Amino acid sequence: MTRRLDDRTLETLGAEIERPRHPRTSLQTGIVHMGLGAFHRAHQAVYTEDALNRRPGPWGICGVSLRSPETRDALAPQDNLYTVAVRDASGQRLRVVGSLTETLVAPEDPAAVLDRLTRPEVRIVTITVTEKGYCHDPATGALNERHPDIVHDLGNPDRPRTLAGFLVEALDRRRRAGTDPFTVLSCDNLPGNGHVAAGILRRFAELRDPDLGRWVADRVACPSSMVDRIVPATTDEDRAAVSAALGAEDAWPVMAEPFSQWVIEDHFPTGRPAWELEGAELVADVRPYEFMKLRLLNGSHSCIAYLGYLAGHATVSDAMADPHFARFVRELMDEEVTPTLDVPPGADLSRYKAALLERFANPALKHRTWQIAMDGSQKLPQRLLGTIRDRLAAGRPFDRLALGVAAWMRYVGGRDETGQPIDVRDPLADRLAATPAPALFGVREVFGDDLAGNPAFTTAVTRAYDRLVAVGAREAIQTIR
By beta-carbon proximity to ligand CS2, the closer residue of 84 and 297 is: 297
Residue at shortest CB range from ligand CS2: 301
Stretch that binds ligand CS2, among 101-109, 266-274, 297-305, 424-432 (CB under 6 A): 297-305
Q: Could you tell me how many residues of this chain bind ligand CS2 (CB under 6 A)? A: 9
Q: Is 298 in the site for ligand CS2 (CB under 6 A)?
A: yes
- For every residue of 53-81, DSSP letters joined together read HHS--S-EEEEEESS-SHHHHHHGGGTT-
Chosen residue from 81, 216, 230, 251 binding ligand CS2 by CB under 6 A: 230
Is 229 a binding residue for ligand CS2 by CB under 6 A? The answer is yes
Stretch that binds ligand CS2, among 222-230, 241-249, 395-403, 420-428 (CB under 6 A): 222-230
d(CA 365, CA 376): 22
User: Could you say whether residue 189 binds ligand CS2 (CB under 6 A)?
Assistant: yes
By three-state DSSP, how is residue 262 classified? Answer: strand
CA distances from 135 to 34, 35, 171 (A): 14, 14, 19
Whether 254 and 49 have beta carbons less than 8 Å apart is answered as no
Q: In the complex with ligand CS2, which residue's Cβ is closer, 168 or 294?
A: 294
Q: Which is nearer to ligand CS2, 71 or 118 (CB)?
A: 71
Nearer to ligand CS2 by C-beta: 153 or 228? 228
How far apart are the C-alpha atoms of 400 and 412, rounded to whole Å? 19
- CA proximity to 186, closest of 267, 127, 273: 127
Q: Which amino acid is at 406?
A: A
Are 57 and 49 within 8 A, CB to CB? no
- Amino acid, single-letter form, for residue 241: A
User: 340 or 378, CB closer to ligand CS2?
Assistant: 378
132 lies in the site for ligand CS2, by CB under 6 A? no
How many CB atoms sit inside 10 A of residue 439's CB?
10
Whether 257 contacts 229, CB under 8 Å:
yes
The minimum distance between CB 217 and ligand CS2, in angstroms, equals 29
CB 153 → ligand CS2: shortest distance, Å?
Answer: 26
Q: Could you give the string, one character per residue 361-380, with x where binding to ligand CS2 holds by CB under 6 A and - elsewhere?
A: ----------xx--------
Contact positions toward ligand CS2, by CB under 6 A?
A: 189, 228-230, 297-298, 301, 371-372
